[in-house]
Amino acid sequence: MLQRVDHVGIAVEDLEQALALFRDALGVERVEFDEVPEQGVRVAMLMLPGGGKVELVQPLAPDTPVGRFLARRGPGLHHIAFGVADVRAAMEAVAARGLELVDREPRRGAGGASVAFIHPRSAMGTLIELCQRDAGVASGA
Ligand code: CO
């Protein structure tokens, strides 16, 4: 079901400050920005030339899931996203195996992906994102 690591998410207080590290100090040149108001976040996706991605996630307000994460834990690793061919099928499969999903329905993720999260309680303390990149396209390809 899991096809690849799509990206790793890092919760940050401030995108510009985080970009000073990743773009300016570590030399990641390609960055794509997005805002997902439904999730209360601004995102900077670091596009590594070798194909990996790192998602810097800044909350739009303290009273959002990422805002509460920052208040509780401080900045740092937030989730790991695995690419799946069909996010709905993946949700049904993990639910059938007794894992707890955060989402009942897929939601829009950064960059137009269709995503759903598995609760850390079901995943050894790690928030897992199931991420379908070709959202809207019939699965099977
Ligand atoms: Co993500």
List the chain residues with pLDDT less than 50. Answer: 135-141
Residue 124: predicted pLDDT: 96
- Residues with a beta carbon under 5 angstroms from ion ligand 1: 9, 55, 81, 129
Dist CA 122 CA 128 (whole Å): 9
DSSP codes, 65-90: HHHHHHHHH-SEEEEEEEE-S-HHHH
Distance 140 CA to ligand 1 centre (A): 23
Ligand 1 centroid from CA 8, angstroms: 7
Report the distance separating Cα 59 and Cα 36, nearest Å: 10
CA distance 130 to 123: 13
Task: Give the predicted TM-score (pTM) of the model.
Answer: 0.91
Return the pLDDT at 137. Answer: 47
Confidence at residue 138, expressed as pLDDT on a 0 to 100 scale: 42
pLDDT at residue 23 in the model: 94
pLDDT recorded at residue 31: 97
Q: What is the pLDDT of residue 110?
A: 86
Report the pLDDT value the prediction gives residue 134, as an integer from 0 to 100. 80
86 Cα: distance to centroid of ligand 1 (angstroms): 16
The DSSP 8-state label assigned to residue 39 in this structure reads: G
Distance 40 CA to ligand 1 centre (A): 13
